[in-house]
Structure 1
Amino acid sequence: MCGRFALTAPPERVADFLGVVDLEDFPARYNIAPTQPILVVISGDRPQAGSNLPDRKTLLVRWGLTPSWVKDPASFPLLINARADTAIGKASFRAAMRHRRILIPASGFYEWHRPAKGTGEKSQAYWIRPRNGEVVAFAGLMETWSSADGSEVDTGAILTTDANSAIAPVHDRMPVVIRPEDFARWLDCKTQEPREVADLLSPVEDDFFEAVPVSDRVNKVANVGPDLQVPVEVKALKPTEDPAAKAKGGSQLSLF
């Protein structure tokens, strides 16, 4: 599960990475939480005028997907993540997987290692970032929910997959990473059906991310400064024997 992430790269770097020209200036965000607006990229309707960049555009959506068929969002669970291995068959995500696939830029994400009950150990937060320090794009899904009075809310979720062997000691799930060379295929919902992009939903290479232990200040949404990513000293985690088996055997809660 991915419950917090950050986007701290300069806007021009993010725009260059995503291949867009319509990106406005924005501040660094060190603690992006559910229900907050998040920046996403979608396939556009026409080529970008005067540019050789691909047909893409950016917008802000609420983090927490609400399917279009939901009548009362207040009584529906907040879907911040969708399991990549089952999303195509879930009623909440099926339409978005076919028609509204998105990219979600990030500088990294936070995850918590939660020790087994009875050990007396506390949960430990980790800042998980690309080793090369660059921007990363998570695979996401988008839905526009319309109320009875005609108002609309764009909403989104991050797709997750089994953790690779580097992240599994921290948590058994991780966001799906889409590589730049696969952006066009992932965003192409006109000719690429979900089964044709399923190969993009596997865990990223083991050496892509590094997990940096940080303080528990990230637990509070009110804490939004760069100090959230300052490393702290902790006892080294033991490797996980079989992260895929652990993930499949764990509880899901049950769409995340």
Structure 2
Amino acid sequence: MCGRFGFFELSHFIEQLRQLELPFDEAPGFGYRQSWNIAPGSEIVTLFGDHRRYRLGMARWGLIPHWSKEMPKNRPINARAESLAVKPFFHHMLNRRHCIVSASGFYEWKPVADQRKEPWYIRRKDNRPMALAGLWDEWRPPGPPSLPLCSCTIVTTGANREMKPVHDRMPVILEEEEWSAWLDSSNRDAVQLLDPADDNVLDLWPVSTRVNNPRNDDPHCIERVAESAS
């Protein structure tokens, strides 16, 4: 599960793309702002893979499949890696439309005493932006001709050793050498990349419950606090 994340280092992500020689076009109207508390339904920075072309733009977090006749009530923010090939909602995109969602870190909620849940912030130890594996699609609303709406979902997998004390799932975090392989949706071996992050890649700590409210969106969201008693 990945239900909240932050992204506040676009320049670093673009520098990584240049170092990896992944040329990209910037989508018209690309508008980015720093955020420490991104909630489902938000417009998020996305690197779209489309037949060996890369496009940096915005997508709505919560997938709307192109075949939907109307705005669906269920707009998945996550897709389980283990069932992509069999779930009707996702399998048409598995070898068609891959993307990378850029993140500085993500949040997960750990059960603690009295049925409470304590938010934790998870980032890379090397402080590089995360590249989260995703799927995207383009949907046209019914009625008069209108601009297509791009949306996406983040692929999740089982937790690695560091994540397991907090949650049993985590987003798929791609290493730099895996970016182009995942973005190439014609690559039938891309599904082999959808595994947990290696151990010792992540750093994580408890944060304030103010992150529970998406209206709180500032650097204080990721500040470390004392861990609650289990």
TM-score w.r.t. structure 1 length?
0.81
Matched, 1:102 2:95: no
How far apart, in 2, do the equivalents of 1:110 and 1:180 lie? Answer: 22
Q: Is the partner of 2:67 in helix, strand or coil?
A: coil
Give the direction of change, closer, same or farther, for the CA distance of 1:45–1:70 in structure 2 (3 Å limit).
closer
**Percent sequence identity over aligned pairs:** 33
Matched, 1:3 2:9: no
Report if aligned partners of 1:15, 1:21 keep a CA contact under 8 Å in 2.
Answer: no
Q: Render the CA deviation track for 1:209-256: whole Å, top value 9, x for unaligned.
A: 11110011111111001000111101476xxxxxxxxxxxxxxxxxxx
- When Rg is computed on C-alpha atoms for both structures, the one with the higher figure is 1
CA-based RMSD of the aligned residues comes to 1.9
Deviation at 1:78, TM superposition (A): 2.2
How far apart, in 2, do the equivalents of 1:101 and 1:236 lie? Answer: 41
How far apart, in 1, do the equivalents of 2:75 and 2:32 lie? Answer: 26
Matched, 1:18 2:17: yes
Q: How does 1:1-256 map to 2 (within 5 A)?
A: 1-9=1-9, 11-19=10-18, 20=23, 22=25, 26-43=32-49, 55-74=53-72, 76-115=73-112, 119-149=113-143, 150-151=145-146, 152-190=148-186, 192-193=187-188, 196-235=189-228
How far apart, in 2, do the equivalents of 1:165 and 1:148 lie? Answer: 46
Deviation at 1:45, TM superposition (A): 6.1
How far apart, in 2, do the equivalents of 1:78 and 1:168 lie? Answer: 26
How far apart, in 1, do the equivalents of 2:16 and 2:177 lie? Answer: 11
Q: Render the CA deviation track for 1:67-104: whole Å, top value 9, x for unaligned.
A: 12222324x31200000111121100011111000011
Q: Is the partner of 1:93 in helix, strand or coil?
A: helix
Report if aligned partners of 1:65, 1:80 keep a CA contact under 8 Å in 2.
Answer: yes
Unaligned runs of 5+ in 1: 47-54, 238-256
Q: Per residue, is there more strand in 1 or in 2?
A: 2
Q: Is the partner of 1:73 in helix, strand or coil?
A: coil
Unaligned runs of 5+ in 2: none
Deviation at 1:206, TM superposition (A): 1.5
Report if aligned partners of 2:31, 2:58 keep a CA contact under 8 Å in 1.
Answer: no
